[in-house]
Every structure is written in structure tokens, then in C-alpha cells.
Amino acid sequence: MVQNVQRNAGPEDAAMKAAQVWFIAASRAIRASGDSLSDHHSESGDWTRISDSVIQRSQGRAAWVKSLKGELEALPEFRALEAELLQHPVFGGQLNVLVGTQSERTIFKPIDVAMQLLPNPNDDMLHVEFAKQWELVSGPFLASSFIYRTLVPIFNLRLEGKEIVLDPETRIASLNDEDLTLLLQVGAVRDDRGLLRNRHPSTDSVAAMQIDSKVPKVVCDWDAPSKHTDVDPDLNQRIAAIQQCMALIGSDYVRFGGRVSYIVDPWGGPNTAHYLGRFTESYWPTRVLTSGEVSELLRMWSTMRDSRFASNKALNLALRRLSYSSERERPEDKLLDLMIACEALYLTDSNAELAFKLAIRAAYWNRLPAWSRDDVFHLYKRAYGIRSKIAHGDSPDSRNLVVRSQSVTFDQFNSSVEEVLRGGLMRALESASKEPNLKFVVKWDALVLTSNPT
């Protein structure tokens, strides 16, 4: 049977006192043994900062030897601690059974609780504050939920000032050492080309999206089946919304890739880490968000995350395709994504004369001062023609890669199409945000035919 754990602190003085008595006895036993009870894992060391600009893998991770648990369990003081824990109104119900979430569970015995009180072997036990250790160990037993955390590194993005709080569960912040160490440890960030030689640059220019969701804690019988359900069904939508917002701002060099998700183990680190994708260190220029762009990001997030905005299916498709285009390596693929976005924005009511209607509507909808209606019209008419050739398996004619009467490269042509598209989508979001139901509706023919289209 699976039951949710409700918070019920109850009397814990007796358990805390018994734990402190055992802790003192364990400290004496460890000091008497010298270095014989500690060892280093040789298979993989932790990533640690060795200077302001370098994080490097250590030779090994200090840990207590396996035999220590048996020796400390045999101490007379442990029997008193075990009795107090087992009869405690909160601890007792979570020992010797499976504890965790609907999909991931583990078992804790009284000796496991006691061992969690011990500091790292490299720390001086004489200077360890027992009250803080007890708070760290007992707090999760008293809590009714875990934190399910997802980190999505955003390379080449640097924040000016504080973190960006999008909502209570979602933020963009600079990676701290602990976060980057985890990403390196599980392989979500890698240096596949070997250029960093087991090192990673300073985290100063590496930001990340962090999403924290509360997951109910459950206590399970041994025969309770696991339920492999999505811990946060909204997770992918949150990540996609950030990617779309960044694409709208025009973060050309910002790259999303892998991510790591885990249940935060309150006894010291991630429980089980799941990662998707991987990173190699990027050497593109760093993108800095200005205060104005941060404000715009917050406005876009607020609109796009509103449940009413989901009814804008065509506009959401355009936003997704703009985001996808930033991931394309081949210019042909990038243009196809951009033109799908353009068609979703401008051609939802048409099935004839598509090239002309797309070009004229984009020209009249455009508000970017750097682009005249004539410039936009000719750019998008050419873009649609190139899109048709690519979609039918032909190669684009380089003579059609023209912007403002100047021949350009394919990448430059795409950048121009994207710039105008971003402006159009930004105006569409602004228009939708002013409607009570957040619905984006434009009468395109009226827009073009009226003498005052603004």
C-alpha cells in the first residue's frame, strides 16, 4: 500500500539527544582509529574548482570505508538511538520500508540515519556543529514532499545582475559550482573534442534554466508496484517556452541542449539523475541580456504561459518553428523552419496566391523601422520561392539570395528573414496580450486594403 506522508513533527528531543550521544561516541571511535576508516574512490573523482577559472576532476572522492558502518552500529549508544528512532512518530514510520516518490524509492534503516550525521572524512569532526547535522538529516523525514529539479544549461548566455525569476518554480540564473559539478559528473556537459582536457571554464558566462517542482513523498510496502509517471507533466512546455522567448529576443549564439532532472536527495545531493542530450563547450560570442530584454522576456513568458494562450494554435506553431530554426546547421533546413513559421503567422486563412499574400501581409504587418514595406515584400517573395524549391528537392539559385538589392550569402539571407519574422511575432504577442481571451486575430485583407493599416 502506498501512502502520502503528512507533516507531523512530533516530539523529537529524545531522538535528537540519543543521536548526539551516539555521534560523540562515534567521533571518539573514529579519532582512535586514525586514517584507517577513510578511503578514496579511485574510479571517478568529483569535479571541484581549483582556481577562479578552472574546474577540474579530482583524483578521488573521500569516503568512509564500508566496515565503519558495522563498527559504529555495534556501539552501545546506537541501541538507544535505534530504539528512539523506531518509536518516533515520524521517523519510525519511514524506517525499514520503501520511501520516495511514485517512481523512485529507497530504504532507510536506523544505521543509515546515524551514518548521515557523519561529516565528510576530510572534515574535522571536532568542529562539526551537531545541531546543523541533525537539522539536515531530520528535516527530510519531517517534510511531506521532495523537490524535483531540472537544470537546462544555456551556453553563451550571461546575465547582467541578478537571476531572472519567471515564476515561483522557474528561473534563469548563472550556474554555481554545485550545479556545474553535477552536470559534469553525470555527463550532461561534456568536452567531446578533448580541448578542455578535463577542465571546464569559469561558470561566469554559463547560465541555466532551473525548474523546481514539488513531488509528494510516499511510504511504500515492499510489494507496492512502481508507477513510472511524469513527475512534472508541464516540464517540456516550460523548457519550450523559454527557448521560444530566447529565439524571439534574437539570441543568435545562445544554445540549448541537454538537461538533467533529478529528485533532490535531502541527505546530500541528487538521488537519481536523468539527462537528455549533451554539450560541448562553445566558442561563439557571449550573449548578454540587457535590462530591456529581460523585461521583454518576462512579458512574453507571462503571455505564453497563460492557459488561454494555448488556443492560438497557429501562432504557437510559428513560435515553435522559429525556435527550431535556431538549432539547424544547414541553411536550407533553417529557411524551411522560418517559412513554416511565416505561413502559420500570415497564411492561416489562405490556400491560393500564397507567395504574394505572404509577402504583402508581412510587409504591412512589419513595424521594424529598419525595414520598409517594399524591402519586406521583396524579401519574403524571394524567400517563399526559395522555400518551394527546397521543399521539392531542388537547390536554391544563388541569384535569388538578394536583400535590399544586394547579393548575400544564404546565412545572411536567413538572418534577414528571421529578423523580420521575429518582429512580426513580437507584434502578434503584443496584440494577443491586449485581448481578454489572449486570442490573436487579424483580418489580413482589411489590414492591407485600409488606408491606415496601423
- Per-10-residue mean pLDDT, the chain, length 454: 40 84 90 62 52 55 73 93 93 88 80 87 74 86 86 81 90 82 70 43 67 85 59 83 92 74 63 51 68 92 96 96 91 96 93 92 96 97 96 90 96 96 97 95 89 53
Q: What's the rounded Cα separation, in Å, for the pair 38 and 31?
A: 11
Question: Which helix or strand (DSSP H or E) is residue 254 part of?
Answer: none
User: Is 40 a member of any domain?
Assistant: yes
C-alpha cell at 77: 549508544
> 442 and 320 in one domain?
yes
Question: Which helix or strand (DSSP H or E) is residue 335 part of?
Answer: helix 331-346
Q: What's the rounded Cα separation, in Å, for the pair 162 and 177?
A: 17
User: Is 121 a member of any domain?
Assistant: yes
Q: What's the rounded Cα separation, in Å, for the pair 67 and 362?
A: 73
Which of 93, 115, 142 is the endpoint of a domain? 142
* 52 DSSP 8-state letter: S
Question: Which helix or strand (DSSP H or E) is residue 15 part of?
Answer: helix 13-33
The one-letter code for the residue type at 35 is D
Asked whether 190 and 278 are in contact (CB, 8 A), the reply is yes
Structurally, the chain folds into a number of domains equal to 3
Asked whether 275 and 259 are in contact (CB, 8 A), the reply is yes
Asked whether 240 and 327 are in contact (CB, 8 A), the reply is no
User: Is 300 a member of any domain?
Assistant: no
Task: Give which of 389, 377, 241 is closest to 322, Cα–Cα.
Answer: 241
Which of 142, 168, 195 is the endpoint of a domain? 142
Beta bridge partners of 208: 153, 173
Q: What's the rounded Cα separation, in Å, for the pair 205 and 289?
A: 12
> 25 and 79 in one domain?
yes
C-alpha cell at 310: 494555448
> 417 and 350 in one domain?
yes
CA 430 to chain centre: 26
User: Is 63 a member of any domain?
Assistant: yes
> 430 and 351 in one domain?
yes
> 179 and 110 in one domain?
no
- Share of the chain residues as helix, strand and coil, in percent rounded to the nearest 5: 45, 20, 35
Q: What's the rounded Cα separation, in Å, for the pair 334 and 260?
A: 27
The one-letter code for the residue type at 392 is H
User: Is 322 a member of any domain?
Assistant: yes
> 390 and 352 in one domain?
yes
Going from the C-alpha of 167 to that of each of 68, 141, 240, 249, 333, the distances in angstroms are 45, 28, 15, 19, 34
pTM here?
0.77
Task: Give which of 165, 160, 157, 16 is closest to 84, Cα–Cα.
Answer: 16
> 74 and 52 in one domain?
yes
Question: Which helix or strand (DSSP H or E) is residue 2 part of?
Answer: strand 2-4
Integer distance in angstroms from the first to the last C-alpha of the chain? 64
The one-letter code for the residue type at 288 is V
Q: What's the rounded Cα separation, in Å, for the pair 334 and 330?
A: 6
User: Is 301 a member of any domain?
Assistant: no
> 359 and 323 in one domain?
yes
> 313 and 269 in one domain?
no
Torsion over CA of 410, 413, 414 and 416, rounded to 10 degrees? 160
Q: Where in the sequence is the domain holding 426, given as residue range(s)?
A: 308-449
C-alpha cell at 393: 528537392
Asked whether 112 and 103 are in contact (CB, 8 A), the reply is no
Beta strands (DSSP E) in 181-268 are: 199-200, 207-216, 218-220, 255-256, 259-265
Asked whether 199 and 130 are in contact (CB, 8 A), the reply is no
The one-letter code for the residue type at 155 is F
* Helices and strands of the chain, counted as H and E runs: 14, 20
User: Is 70 a member of any domain?
Assistant: yes
pLDDT (0 to 100) of residue 132: 87
Q: What's the rounded Cα separation, in Å, for the pair 113 and 88?
A: 13
Burial of residue 333 (number of CB atoms within 10 Å: 0-12, 13-18, 19+): middle
> 137 and 157 in one domain?
no
User: Is 303 a member of any domain?
Assistant: no
Going from the C-alpha of 424 to that of each of 240, 359, 421, 428, the distances in angstroms are 20, 12, 5, 6
Q: What angle do CA 155, 159, 163 make, to 5 degrees?
A: 110
> 110 and 194 in one domain?
no
> 442 and 312 in one domain?
yes
pLDDT (0 to 100) of residue 5: 39
C-alpha cell at 312: 492560438
Which of 142, 174, 200 is the endpoint of a domain? 142
